[in-house]
Amino acid sequence: MGTKNKIIIRPEHEHRGKLYWHPNNVDVQPATEFINFRLTFKHKGKLEWKVGLYGNNLLNTDYSGEYFADDYTSTIFGDLKWPGNPRVFGVNFAMKF
């Protein structure tokens, strides 16, 4: 059984169209663009494993992850809005045994 190594480079572009938060289309989030990147080293031998580096939202696009209009929440705070994920970098590792 031989050993195989592979490097995988994966740039990603994601476009999210305009998002309407209300049925009456009053609250709108404009279209957003995201650039992500993955670099993975994959090893196949007696054990199969891979390690990767990634970056998400590399442009650090500001967007809303969730939004609840006060018409539907019945809170004293008004509209509830959560920011989307900022630029994130990380490492992942997986192994089959």
pLDDT value at 24 more than 60: yes
Q: How many domains does the chain have?
A: 1
Using CA atoms, how far residue 26 sits from 19, 29, 63, 77, 92, in Å, is 11, 10, 17, 18, 41
Residue % of the chain over a pLDDT of 90? 63
pLDDT value at 68 more than 90: no
The range of the structural domain enclosing residue 50 comes to: 4-96
Residue % of the chain over a pLDDT of 70? 91
pLDDT value at 40 more than 90: yes
Helix or strand run (H / E) with residue 92: strand 88-96
